[in-house]
Structure 1
Amino acid sequence: MNGGDEGGGPPTAGVAAVSPREAALAGRLGVRRVTYVPQVVSLPRWVLDERAALSEQPGERAPRYVTAGRICAQKDPGFFAETARELLRSRPDAEVVWLGGGTPEDEERLRSIGVRVTGWIERATLLGELARADVYVHTAAWEGSPMTVLEAAELGVPVVARRIAALESLGVRRLEGTPAALAATAEETAKNPQSAGVGLDLTAVHNSTAQREALLGLYEQVASSAR
């Protein structure tokens, strides 16, 4: 869809952006044909059934807060660690989980404050862990369109996240600017999951029909410009 603008390569014909934020950035770079193409997730039936069964189980238990991804600067483990401290200070029996891994040093920093770090795991294991979450907590410093947020929402797991431009543009509703505020929102969401919803409207935008129409529209724009 795009090529290099330097070294004699062809100019960019068009950009398929995975979030409105990416589309805006591409426009600022002078790209004339930019289309937001929403990402779509497809989850196996078994994990949807597992989530549904867990949601129907009564009983009081400690809340379970989960995030997922590589432990790296982009995901900002420091922000997550501060959020985890607040959650565990308020509810010491809460389970805070990072699904994924990083360097031994980064993993140990999180474990030292009480976060369970799984290390790298198979996708089926990750989805099973995600299905058992009460709240998905996303603390990345920057993003495109994170698939883990969409997967959590598809499962019906409430999403709370750090306030960044990409997530604002995607319509994630429960966004906070500080670890303390994010922890407070996560706690309230865990207490009232039904009233909270998932925090992201998947059906209106993140579906295969919308994705197909956006891509076909961009292809048509590019093809028309070449005639």
Structure 2
Amino acid sequence: MMNRQGIWDFWAKYYDRLWLQRVSLQPTRALVCEKIMGFEGNQNTAQKTSQLNILDMGCGTGQLYGDLLQALGKKQFHYLGIDPSGAMLEQAVDKFPEAAFFRSDVMDAEPDQAPFDVIVCSHSFPYYPDGEAALRNMADMLRPGGQLLLSQACTNSVYDAVILKLTGLTTSKAVYRSSQHMTELGSSLFRELETFRISEKFFTPSLWLFHWIK
């Protein structure tokens, strides 16, 4: 049986073509980009810097970077993508050699580029062995007033639990919390700005975006 890293290394070369891209991952990235564009536009003169400093935690093959390029333009943001899978990062570097990618687990990440204006954590949070510690580490890497955009599937129903159990057969071990549990988990570290239901597809589990501010 493959370990956690080995599973994601295996999926790396297929990742951009998975059916989940269309119904889950791409809609998530679109909403994340929309929120980041709003954040960039709403900075006041005192806060405004030449570039938004963005950390993509669990960046996979770097798809968010490509979407941000289209949405914001290269000069509007500084990007760092972190992922524990070497094979995923190889795909990312092949596509975007100009971007910064770094191999690390969320608990070991201490990037020199911190603090960040925005941290994005898309669909990787359930795979972190210690969710509370992971959130604390992300909070530590945000500047005061910085924002966390965390998306994941949630077990809000029996149907969600069944679908996510089946999903787990092809991925590494994961803990899918309910949206209420996630809100409670983040409440000691962040102030909630918004919570969104991302997908209404009947055949997908509940997909949620949690938009929090430090």
Same fold (TM over 0.5): no
The structure where strand makes up a greater share of residues is 2
TM-score, scaled relative to structure 1: 0.40
User: Higher helix proportion, which one?
Assistant: 1
Query: Structure 2 length normalisation: TM-score?
Result: 0.42
